[in-house]
Amino acid sequence: MQLELVKTKEELRTLYKPPMDLVLKKQKDKLDQHSMQFLSLSPFIILSTSDNENHMDCSPRGDHPGFVQVLDDCTIAIPDRPGNNRLDTLSNIIDNPAIGALVLVPGFNECLRINGSASIAINENLLERFEYRGKQPKSVIVISINEIYFHCAKSITRSGLWKEASKVDRSIMPSLGRILMDQIDPSKTDNEVKAVEELIENRVKTTLY
């Protein structure tokens, strides 16, 4: 299929109505009591970064509610808990500090959007603030806020994200271990796949913090 592409902002704007004044005025450059409370309730945030060649990455971060801490009304901090050690987000931040964040709270159809610049901090007193179950993160992502605003409920409402009826039975797809082996080496035997599945399961149980 040959795509008919929109190539200019002027052409793009002709396709849509102008945004309401409310939508423009809601954008702020610092936290207020409502955004702080929303952050305190959130157990899940998605970070968007890119390297210096504009290769994009989007990374989920989850923890107990309130794991994103407010340092001041223009700054938030996020612990880097154990992951897969690819370090995509952290490497991107070193190349390019620009960052976007989408903050979700289960049960809320609204979400919070934050854009700003990020840095990686290893101050001992900051790491101590994020100690959990006796373990500290190796680093903390600190975001200086440039833009922050609440996003309306349309997207999550359309998706039915939090509805019980929207849940998909996990068994409809193979395990992550099987998926990875199909992608990496389909010749692996069932026993070899099982070993990978057990490795993944054990890492989830033992390396959360």
Q: Kindly report, residue by residue over 71-86, the tens digit of the pLDDT.
A: 999 999 999 999 999 9
14 assigned to some structural domain: no
Residue 140's pLDDT is what?
Answer: 98
Residues in CB range of 105: below 8 A, 6 or more apart = 38, 41, 42, 43, 44, 111
Instruction: Report DSSP state, residue 16.
Output: S
What share of the chain has pLDDT > 70, as a percent?
100
Instruction: Output the average pLDDT for the chain.
Output: 97
Residue 64: which pLDDT band, with cuts at 50, 70 and 90? very high
Residue 12: which pLDDT band, with cuts at 50, 70 and 90? very high
- The pair of structure tokens assigned to 46 is 């998605």
76 assigned to some structural domain: yes
Of 30, 46, 156, which is closest to residue 101 (Cα–Cα)?
46
Q: Give me the sheet containing 111-121, strands edge to edge.
A: 56-62, 44-50, 98-104, 111-121, 140-151, 75-79, 69-72
Q: How far apart are CA 159 and CA 82, in angstroms?
A: 30
Residue 89: which pLDDT band, with cuts at 50, 70 and 90? very high
13 assigned to some structural domain: no
Kindly state whether residues 201 and 150 are assigned to the same domain: no
Domain carrying residue 178: 168-206
Kindly state whether residues 143 and 186 are assigned to the same domain: no
Residue 151: which pLDDT band, with cuts at 50, 70 and 90? very high
Kindly state whether residues 44 and 110 are assigned to the same domain: yes
Amino acid at 78: I
Task: Evaluate if pTM is beyond 0.85.
Answer: yes
Provide the number of structural domains found in the chain.
2
Kindly state whether residues 89 and 184 are assigned to the same domain: no
Kindly state whether residues 173 and 151 are assigned to the same domain: no
Kindly state whether residues 58 and 144 are assigned to the same domain: yes
Mean pLDDT of 105-125: 98
Residue 127's pLDDT is what?
Answer: 98
Give the chain's length.
209
From 159, 181, 196, the end of a domain falls on 159
Mean pLDDT of 34-39: 98
Mean pLDDT of 144-159: 97
Amino acid at 23: V
From the CB of residue 79, how many other CB atoms can be counted at a distance below 10 Å? 22
Kindly state whether residues 122 and 147 are assigned to the same domain: yes
Kindly state whether residues 91 and 186 are assigned to the same domain: no
Q: How far is CA 144 from the centre of its chain?
A: 16
Residue 188's pLDDT is what?
Answer: 92
Side-chain-side CA neighbours of 207 within 13 Å: the count stands at 11
Residue 204's pLDDT is what?
Answer: 93
138 assigned to some structural domain: yes
